[in-house]
Amino acid sequence: MKAMKERLIVIGNGMAGARVVEEILKRTPDRFDIVMFGAEPYGNYNRILLSNVLNGSQAATEIFMNPLSWYRENGIKLHAGVRATRIDRERRVVVGAPLRREALAYTVDAASDANAALVEEPYDRVIIATGSRPFVPPMEGFGGTGTFMFRTIDDCARIADYAKDRKRAAVIGGGLLGLEAARGLLTHGVEVTVLEAAPQLMAVQLDPEAGDILRKTIEAMGIRVLCNTITTRIASAGSNGTSRLTHLEFKDGSSLETDMVVVSAGIRPITEIATASGLTVNRGIVCDDQMRTSDPAIFSVGECVEHRGQLYGLVDPIWEQTRVLADVITDTCLDSAYLGSKLGTKLKVMGVELASMGETKPASPTDEVVIYREPARGLYKKLIVRDDKIAGAILLGDVESAGILMQMFQGNMKVPTRRADLLFGSPKGVSLLNVADLPDNAQICNCNGVSKRQIADAIQNSGCQSVSKVGACTRAGMGCGSCKSLVAQLLESYLGEVGYDPTEHYYVPGIPLEKSQLVAEIRNRGIKSVSEVFQQLADGKEDPASKVGLASLLKTLWPGEYEDERDARFINDRVHANIQKDGTFSVVPRIYGGVTTAAELMRIAEVAIKYQVPMVKFTGGQRIDLLGIKKEDLPDVWKDLDMPSGHAYTKSFRTCKSCVGTDFCRYGVGDSIALAQKIERRFQGVESPHKMKLATAGCPRNCSEAYVKDLGAVAIEGGKWEIYVGGAAGGTVRKGDLLCTVSTHDEVLHYMGRFMQYYREHGKYLERSYGFVERVGIETIRQILVDDSLGICERLDTEIQKAVDAYRDPWQEAILPAYPEQFSGPELAYALEVAENNG
């Protein structure tokens, strides 16, 4: 018989509560029967993004982190909309009261549903993660019509709804949350005034000068700011039913007319349940370094906690608390301890980037203060150095060095003697940071939140000897990839070297061959389908993660002859459209060189109306994107558009932008439009290791951004064209390298085709042209493709011509689908109805 699991009750279903459960499940998926209480009637959402919900840039549904199905799938019993009121430590049960749907979940006196029975859940361990509630400064009249707090999804809805027919809104609180609320209100078309009691904005994070710069930037956006302003009374007119807010009265006797007021003046821990249950409570629920309260069976985590006299309201320290607590409660790491955090934060307030850590002003005359200011651009940088270490820093407007400063600050590291390097980077580009000096809890991968300790553990205890192994084990480097060099540094410092991992060089993970070996095998054996590759080169073991790369390679190797198995394609390439987060697709028809006609635009408009397309958007590639199309509608949309596919969904030639060139521009020296159209007609749909985005520019002013494209042609004086390769302006920004300078459009097409074919043959799968050009080197590429040092140019020219000849508009599959179910939606299955007639 199965042993009884321990019962763990988590009180609070906010960010800390859900995170600690995730951390526990990660360590021991089966140890506990978990029950959660959440006062809000939802799953768990990212409260940090609430200001986006208020300003309409994100839907409330987009900020959910754990939908209700997550609880079900992990066997967690969630009491949503139930507030835990007491822990009966004698009987070892947690008692909860269901709240009325309209109750403000976080208020002390949230109305319970009188008809609903109390909930009781027995426990072995409890975690209190009740978080905090908005702080309302003492004033008269708060709670009446038109007064709001800003803490939950429901608050956002209430504020947005009320703001609809109002003209003026006031926000009490000029800190981070207050400014976020003000930004949100601005988008609802009301005049916004921010009221701050202190003499400056964001007094916790900024010094007075930075506060002043921020204030000017914010005022320039149309928000009024009143500092030194303490609200004493919210005044209303009219009787109960029709009462409306009229104005605010201030301590200095002045007043402000307004239609609504949002109070967002800080937060206070929610501790009633701890008090009611006899636990030690000071400002917050008092916890030790293992996040244990005064009762060893009861733990606490998050904003409700007081640890070594300190409260925390930022996400990083709280994530660390959840990790420690999970280590302790699952017995997976008994000496795990939370020792407090040095506070630093990097954030964006109303579009202004700022970073702040530690102290904002010097504490003694021996403290060294380094300041750089550039008021015209709203830049301010300040550093407080004590004993060669960072005691505090403020960055406003330019936060590029924030990451390094934060690592040094939190690691209590010695800083370089040239302080300017800290604010502007080293002039020699030498990294200021030695990753080995970082503290164990330093976050290395910012995308997936992986700490140095976790990476060290993977290297030392799980035997990971390469960057990709560390990535597979910890997810470090699996997001944007920019931390891979730090991971490599860590490998070197722990192992002395970065291990050689042959799998890193495999073309696809499922076939143990590098690209050149794989190409040779495929050519020699005449393999023309993906399933055949698995049969012959992988003992018949199909690897789904390898299918797409193999399909791309086979199509490049056997243009026109390749046996196209559609299951080996990514969904985008099965249906020739780009899948979106909600499972709908985007449709981008080809518009050669970005030049369209009135008739084409009318057809696009008619399609948008007929199919009720939710969004019609101009793309960066000078085309029009129809977003939110259902898979079943794709063939009809294409037929009605009567335009060829723009291939905006696949690893291939995408588009060629152009400027207006010589047709109308006063400066144009080359016909960039005609060239772009020729390029696009020739290379449309040509498959490649990654996407290729092109542009032509009629002069070196580069309006079409040809210098930063995978391939670009730029007209220069004297009737010549420069051809650039390996440019990038995405996550990586790189100016392309000059391949050669030629005289005619035909020559441009010729060299571009040659480069594409060389890249198609030698680029690693998913390697963009900029990585490829850097890896091979422009000198080598120029020797091969221009000087023909290897004698392969003629063959390359022939091969790319074959690829061009094999082009077929994939949207013709609207008329003749590749297979019957290509565009089918969900199929309804009915249970068989049978007559029960046997008795």
Partner 1 sequence: MAEKVIAPVVSLGSVSAIPLGQGRCYVVGGESIAVFRQRDGRIFATNSRCPHGQGPLAEGLLGNGKVICPLHGHQFCLETGAGSVTTESLQVFPVEEVNGNIQMNLESVHA
Binding site for partner 1 (CB under 8 A): 22, 25-26, 29, 67, 69-70, 73-74, 531, 534, 541-545, 547-548, 565-568, 570-571, 574, 579, 581-583, 819, 821-822, 824-837
DSSP letter (8 states) at residue 594: G
Nearest distance, CB of residue 534 and partner 1, angstroms? 8
Give Cα separations from 79 to 4, 7, 826 (angstroms). Answer: 22, 15, 33
Q: Are strands 711-716 and 285-287 parallel, antiparallel or unpaired?
A: unpaired
Q: How many residues does the chain have?
A: 839
For residues 384 and 391, the answer to whether their CB atoms sit within 8 Å is: yes
Closest CA to 144 of 61, 246, 48: 246
Our CB check for partner 1 shows the closer of 222 and 583 to be 583
What pairs with residue 35 in β-bridges? 9, 77
Nearest distance, CB of residue 765 and partner 1, angstroms? 14
Nearest distance, CB of residue 831 and partner 1, angstroms? 4
What CA–CA distance (Å, rounded) separates 710 from 159?
Answer: 47
Our CB check for partner 1 shows the closer of 351 and 544 to be 544
What pairs with residue 102 in β-bridges? none
Our CB check for partner 1 shows the closer of 504 and 582 to be 582
Nearest distance, CB of residue 25 and partner 1, angstroms? 5
Our CB check for partner 1 shows the closer of 130 and 546 to be 546
DSSP letter (8 states) at residue 29: T
Closest CA to 650 of 600, 604, 684: 684
Nearest distance, CB of residue 749 and partner 1, angstroms? 35
Q: Is the dihedral of CA 441, 442, 445, 446 positive or negative?
A: positive
* Strands across the sheet containing 231-237: 231-237, 244-250, 255-257
- The secondary structure of 693-711 as a DSSP string is EEEEESSTT-TT-GGGSSE
Our CB check for partner 1 shows the closer of 484 and 678 to be 484
Closest CA to 201 of 343, 352, 56: 352
Sort 516 into a burial class: Cβ within 10 Å, 0-12 / 13-18 / 19+.
exposed
Our CB check for partner 1 shows the closer of 356 and 546 to be 546
Our CB check for partner 1 shows the closer of 503 and 824 to be 824
What CA–CA distance (Å, rounded) separates 504 from 414?
Answer: 36
What CA–CA distance (Å, rounded) separates 62 from 66?
Answer: 11
Our CB check for partner 1 shows the closer of 95 and 530 to be 530
Q: How many CB atoms lie within 10 A of CB 151?
A: 22
**Phi then psi dihedrals of residue 266, to 5 deg:** 105, 180
Closest CA to 712 of 773, 766, 663: 773
List the end-to-end C-alpha distance of the chain, in Å, as a whole number: 40
Nearest distance, CB of residue 567 and partner 1, angstroms? 3
Nearest distance, CB of residue 816 and partner 1, angstroms? 16
Nearest distance, CB of residue 547 and partner 1, angstroms? 6
Our CB check for partner 1 shows the closer of 579 and 740 to be 579
What CA–CA distance (Å, rounded) separates 156 from 162?
Answer: 10
Our CB check for partner 1 shows the closer of 22 and 249 to be 22
Our CB check for partner 1 shows the closer of 61 and 743 to be 61
CA–CA–CA angle 508, 509, 514 (5° rounding): 55
Nearest distance, CB of residue 580 and partner 1, angstroms? 9
Computed on alpha carbons and rounded to an integer, the radius of gyration of the chain in Å comes to: 31
Nearest distance, CB of residue 469 and partner 1, angstroms? 15
Nearest distance, CB of residue 731 and partner 1, angstroms? 17
Nearest distance, CB of residue 10 and partner 1, angstroms? 15
For residues 654 and 671, the answer to whether their CB atoms sit within 8 Å is: no
Our CB check for partner 1 shows the closer of 664 and 819 to be 819
Sort 164 into a burial class: Cβ within 10 Å, 0-12 / 13-18 / 19+.
exposed
